[in-house]
Amino acid sequence: DILWDLAIAEVEKRENPDDDNVKPGEVWEKTILFMGNKNGGKTTIILRCLEREESPKPTLALEYTFGRRARRHNAPKDVAHFWELGGGTSLVELIRVPITSHNIRSFAVVLVLDLSKPDELWTTMESLLQVTRNHVNKILTKLEKTNPEVAAEIKQRMWNDLQRDHPDYALVDPFPIPLVIIGSKYDIFHEFDSEIRKIISKTLRFVSHYYGASLVFTSKSEALLLKARALINHLAFGYDKSKSVSVDPSKPLFIPAGLDSMSQIGPPPASDSVLGKMRANTPLELWKKVFEKTFPPKSFCGLQDTKDPAQDIQYAEYEVDVMRAQKNQELEQYKRNASKSWKELDFDSD
């Protein structure tokens, strides 16, 4: 090779450090599912990542969009598929639509938690991650029979961000696919009492580290959105992963996966006497009990979205709505006739 060829190869290697399996001319294709609190800012984050100047609209079910980027000049554009689950936890079963055995190798999850609603935080996080993890594990179980090499690759990749010599290697339980946790509405959260902020920050640090996830706090601030965007671009387009870390509870957290530790996080924020009275089978369960002692959770029913998407004006379609109204009238008439017929039946009595 001449010197110029070596220079080009070196630049391409630096631009694509995690892209060893993608051949020149081949398109990189990734899928990311955004989920989290209702009205937590998921759509705003997606639009900012895609550099779209649009006003965000409420997401009522499962919405899809995509972005395209070129890794280098004159190269094919890579594709990132973005799915967004609306409705908080009420439609969690819809995660089965975007996560399939065909895309599981290139799938990632972004969990957006509203920092201004700590009483919803743990319930939302637990419900969404539990259902997602169960579904992914079912896919992996099937792959172990049909394509064991792929299943083994995915399971090994879970540990890539945590080196074997890390002191917490035996204490964590990595999520089966890449996970980023975003704490949104930091501008509101920043006005909370310092002790409240410390409890929430410390808890989210533990959860993120336990699941092998990256953690970032963001708001509508351009500087904070750029940090969240950096983590998402790493998942979506293979950009370099930031090595910077911010763990100061008085400032927005930014901790890429694998760069935190239990010793730095410390014990759950409760006195030794309180911790001694709590019965828990796992560290995660202990942190949950401590967190919910300070922030009693809203009932699960209170987190459900009862609004009928069919009535939302952003999905209005005249012909469909007219036909729906007609069918509703026919249904009501059928109910009345059926009720009347039932009442007129003459039952013989013994």
Instruction: Write down the pLDDT at residue 89.
Output: 84
Residue among 38, 39, 21 nearest 30 (CA): 21
Instruction: Write down the pLDDT at residue 158.
Output: 85
Residue among 136, 91, 125 nearest 215 (CA): 125
Q: With a cut of 70, say whether residue 330 has pLDDT above it.
A: yes
Give CA–CA dist 323/277, Å, rounded.
61
Query: Which is more confident, 122 or 315?
Result: 122
Instruction: Write down the pLDDT at residue 201.
Output: 96
Q: How many CA atoms, within 13 angstroms, populate the side-chain half-sphere of residue 85?
A: 28
307 band by pLDDT with thresholds 50, 70 and 90: low
Q: With a cut of 70, say whether residue 38 has pLDDT above it.
A: yes
Average pLDDT on 20-37 reads 74
Average pLDDT on 110-129 reads 95
Instruction: Write down the pLDDT at residue 300.
Output: 52
Instruction: Write down the pLDDT at residue 302.
Output: 44
Instruction: Write down the pLDDT at residue 13.
Output: 58
Instruction: Write down the pLDDT at residue 346.
Output: 54
Instruction: Write down the pLDDT at residue 129.
Output: 95
Q: How many CA atoms, within 13 angstroms, populate the side-chain half-sphere of residue 247?
A: 20
Structure tokens at 196: 């409240």
Q: What is the CA radius of gyration of the chain?
A: 24
Instruction: Write down the pLDDT at residue 51.
Output: 81
Residue among 303, 209, 216 nearest 251 (CA): 216
**What phi and psi values does residue 193 have, to the nearest 5 degrees?**
-60, 145
Q: With a cut of 90, say whether residue 182 has pLDDT above it.
A: yes
What pLDDT digit, counting tens, does each position of 266-298 carry? 999 888 888 888 888 888 999 999 999 999 987
Instruction: Write down the pLDDT at residue 273.
Output: 84
Give CA–CA dist 321/118, Å, rounded.
39
Q: With a cut of 50, say whether residue 349 has pLDDT above it.
A: no
Give CA–CA dist 266/317, Å, rounded.
55
Instruction: Write down the pLDDT at residue 72.
Output: 67
Residue-averaged pLDDT of the chain: 83
Give CA–CA dist 204/201, Å, rounded.
5
Instruction: Write down the pLDDT at residue 109.
Output: 96
For β-strands 107-114 and 29-36, DSSP reports them as: parallel
Instruction: Write down the pLDDT at residue 341.
Output: 62
Instruction: Write down the pLDDT at residue 48.
Output: 85
Q: Which of 102-106, 242-246, 248-252 has the lowest mean pLDDT?
A: 242-246
Q: Which of 25-39, 73-87, 275-289, 319-333 has the lowest mean pLDDT?
A: 319-333
Q: 315 near 309, Cβ under 8 Å?
A: yes
Q: With a cut of 60, say whether residue 57 has pLDDT above it.
A: yes
Question: 26-262 in CATH: which number?
Answer: 3.40.50.300
Query: Coil, strand, or helix at residue 42?
Result: helix
Question: Highest mean pLDDT range out of 20-29, 214-223, 231-240, 332-341?
Answer: 214-223
What pLDDT digit, counting tens, does each position of 58-101 carry? 777 889 998 888 766 676 788 899 999 988 888 888 999 999 99
33 band by pLDDT with thresholds 50, 70 and 90: very high
Query: Which is more confident, 238 or 347?
Result: 238
Query: Which is more confident, 234 or 20?
Result: 234
Give CA–CA dist 247/201, Å, rounded.
9
CB atoms within 10 A of CB 233: 18
Q: 155 near 140, Cβ under 8 Å?
A: yes
Average pLDDT on 20-30 reads 62
Q: With a cut of 80, say whether residue 122 has pLDDT above it.
A: yes
Average pLDDT on 126-144 reads 94
Instruction: Write down the pLDDT at residue 59.
Output: 73
CB atoms within 10 A of CB 118: 21
Give CA–CA dist 318/163, Å, rounded.
58
